[in-house]
Chains A and B, each alone.
Chain A
Amino acid sequence: NAGVTQTPKFQVLKTGQSMTLQCAQDMNHNSMYWYRQDPGMGLRLIYYSASEGTTDKGEVPDGYNVSRLKKQNFLLGLESAAPSQTSVYFCASSTGVLYGYTFGSGTRLTVV
């Protein structure tokens, strides 16, 4: 099915380890987003990309980096994982905000 694919679905990291969360969309959307979801906090925007090759910080960018080298891929990196980064991470894409977002199924990350 067409949509947004996130890998991995689950990940456990030790404090200080690094990893990259992958997001791919096959809908030719220009915009892509990374959110984190924490209990009682809703979804908070980490980074977004309005087009291939461009990225901007959202509300909670500290401790993360992103890459949008190809239009269909948006990567979220954790350079040195911390327990505070334990969360569920969602990637989304859009062709324009009035069309809404298409979300991936999420990556559940635990940092111990």
Chain B
Amino acid sequence: AQSVTQLDSQVPVFEEAPVELRCNYSSSVSVYLFWYVQYPNQGLQLLLKYLSGSTLVKGINGFEAEFNKSQTSFHLRKPSVHISDTAEYFCAVSARTQGGSEKLVFGKGTKLTVNP
């Protein structure tokens, strides 16, 4: 079964510093990969997704992620963070249900705190 591991539960950084949030997945089949962001007291919003093709995916708010099949990783990066990037970030992988439909399996999340 597909699973997702987010290697860091909390990541503190200073404003304007670069950041990398790490995500590894396990799957024996081709997958779709996603990053979602959750701002305090809100629902989740899609940041970016990898379906196929170029391994470097660009998303909203200056974020990008790189798909690495050999490392089974999909790390999220931003070259210079802002205070407003403080949020929880979730990595997700597509998976098939027992009934044959598809769903997303989420990691446990990484809380990014950007300090002034």
Q: Give the distance in Å from the alpha carbon of A50 to the alpha carbon of B101 in the complex.
A: 7
Q: Considering only CB atoms, which chain B residue lies closest to A106 in the complex?
A: B43
What sequence of 0s and 1s flags, for each residue 81-106 of chain A, a beta carbon within 8 Å of any chain B beta carbon? 00000000010100011101101111
Q: A31-B101, A33-B103 are in contact. Are A97 and B43 (CB under 8 A)?
A: no
Check B103–A45 contact: CB distance below 8 A: yes
| Interface-located stretch among B66-74, B77-85, B105-113 | B105-113
Q: What's the nearest-Cβ distance from chain A to residue B56, in Å?
A: 18
Range of interface residues on B (Cβ < 8 Å): 20 to 34
Check B43–A90 contact: CB distance below 8 A: yes
Q: Give the distance in Å from the alpha carbon of A41 to the alpha carbon of B9 in the complex.
A: 10
**B34 contacts the other chain (CB 8 A):** yes
**A26 contacts the other chain (CB 8 A):** no
**B17 contacts the other chain (CB 8 A):** no
Check A42–B107 contact: CB distance below 8 A: yes
Check A56–B109 contact: CB distance below 8 A: no
Q: What's the nearest-Cβ distance from chain B to residue A50, in Å?
A: 4
Check B43–A100 contact: CB distance below 8 A: no
Q: Give the distance in Å from the alpha carbon of A96 to the alpha carbon of B36 in the complex.
A: 16
Q: A40-B9, A43-B90, A103-B45 are in contact. Are A97 and B103 (CB under 8 A)?
A: yes
What sequence of 0s and 1s flags, for each residue 30-71 of chain A, a beta carbon within 8 Å of any chain B beta carbon? 010101000011110100101000001010000000000000
Q: Considering only CB atoms, which chain A residue lies closest to B99 in the complex?
A: A56
Q: Considering only CB atoms, which chain A residue lies closest to B4 in the complex?
A: A42
- Residues of B within 8 Å of A106, CB to CB, are 41-43
- Residues of B within 8 Å of A42, CB to CB, are 90, 106-109
- Residues of B within 8 Å of A40, CB to CB, are 9, 108
Check A56–B97 contact: CB distance below 8 A: yes
Check B32–A98 contact: CB distance below 8 A: yes
Q: Give the distance in Å from the alpha carbon of A37 to the alpha carbon of B42 in the complex.
A: 12
**B104 contacts the other chain (CB 8 A):** yes
**B-binding residues in A (CB < 8 A):** 4, 31, 33, 35, 40-43, 45, 48, 50, 56, 58, 90, 92, 96-98, 100-101, 103-106
**A-binding residues in B (CB < 8 A):** 9, 32, 34, 36, 41-46, 49, 51, 90, 94, 97-99, 101-109
